[in-house]
Amino acid sequence: MDAFLKGGKLASKESTEDRLGTKPSSGRKTNTPWVEKYRPKTIDDVAYQDEIVAVLKKTLEGCDLPNLLFYGPPGTGKTSTILAASRQLFGKEMFRSRVLELNASDERGISVIREKVKNFSQLAAGGQTPSGHSCPPFKIVILDEADSMTSAAQDALRRTMEKQTKTTRFCLICNYVSRIIEPLTSRCTKFRFKPLPDEVQLEKLGQICASEQVLCSQEAMKAIILHTEGDLRKAITYLQSAQKLQSDDGISLEEIKEIAGVIPESSITTLLSTSSSGSFEKLQQAVKEVLLEGFPAAQILNQVFDKAIQDQELTDKQKSKIMEKMAVIDKRLCDGADEHLQIMDLFTVIMDQVTRQP
């Protein structure tokens, strides 16, 4: 196979090498997104996940890779780790023909498992490269976002994993391991990827700023980390977006908040103070004005949550009532409910709790 199979389609050699950072530089500036440009090239470059890196290094030394299950929050290095490990295992020469990467959120039905995965895993793999170097006699199938696969597809995958153990290794990547059926998890070595601490993200963002000659203060970097909640991929994307807007003084805190979609503190304060007034008409108008500004309801929910937790005037019982309603509204928003009605429902409960006599 002369091209890399991805998503069941053939990708050119040039695009694959560029993604993995193996394409030689031509001396001119490229427009590669920073999340791809600074993606780990080897497993030693993976940030913070020391235990996982140590186990994989020992596994790669013996060229005896088990079926893997990577799970954890987004942006913690799951896909980057298996791509770096595969590249170290097979080298640039064999990587394209030995690795099949599928995004299960796009192609998650049973037909994908029966056709693409099954056909790829049935092909035998030799123990040598065309140039004569030794190479592990198996292939790797990477199923990204495997928790989006249907139950029928997961059942079909179980049988394929069982029958093709001699020729293929599977790596399932997901955010929620509870959505993977037990027969699959029992066939895999599980690794949990931890959210990256602030100091690790600060170090990585600092390295990128130095490499790209970006002027960004510690305050602005901390704001990026605060609003990305441990997602390094999102943090790097925010940094690249802010770099396009930076002035001569560098990236400002206000630019970070604008890119992250943070609602101004004054708007949240207005909503909460209007809730304390006891006037439903004023509350309705305040909510309408915030939503007309284009701010998403989920962001309002997050910032009101932080405010309510830190509010010293609310009792624990009042906070518990508000948090319970927030959980219900968060579920409704995920299901596609009307944003205006849900935010009104939340602030009506807050109004009831704040104005209620003890």
| 99 closest CA partner among 166, 191, 168, 177 | 168
- If one compares 27 and 322, the residue with the highest pLDDT of the two is 322
Residue 344 CA to residue 57 CA, distance in Å, equals 53
Confidence (pLDDT) at 18: 47
| 327 closest CA partner among 308, 355, 310, 313 | 308
Question: 198-260 in CATH: which number?
Answer: 1.10.8.60
Confidence (pLDDT) at 267: 84
- E strands within the chain? 4-6, 9-11, 68-71, 99-103, 139-144, 168-174, 189-192
Residue 24 pLDDT > 60: no
* Mean pLDDT of the 177-181 span: 86
Q: Which fold has domain 265-355?
A: Zinc Finger, Delta Prime; domain 3 (1.20.272)
- Which amino acid is residue 110, in one-letter code? I
Sorted by where each begins, the domain ranges of the chain are 4-192, 198-260, 265-355
Confidence (pLDDT) at 106: 59
Highest mean pLDDT among 85-99, 126-140, 312-326: 312-326
CATH superfamily of this structure's domain 4-192: P-loop containing nucleotide triphosphate hydrolases (3.40.50.300)
Residue 248 CA to residue 215 CA, distance in Å, equals 9
Residue 347 CA to residue 358 CA, distance in Å, equals 19
The lowest-confidence range among 158-167, 181-190, 333-342 is 158-167
Q: Is the pTM of this model over 0.85?
A: no
Identify the residue whose tokens are 């093709």.
164
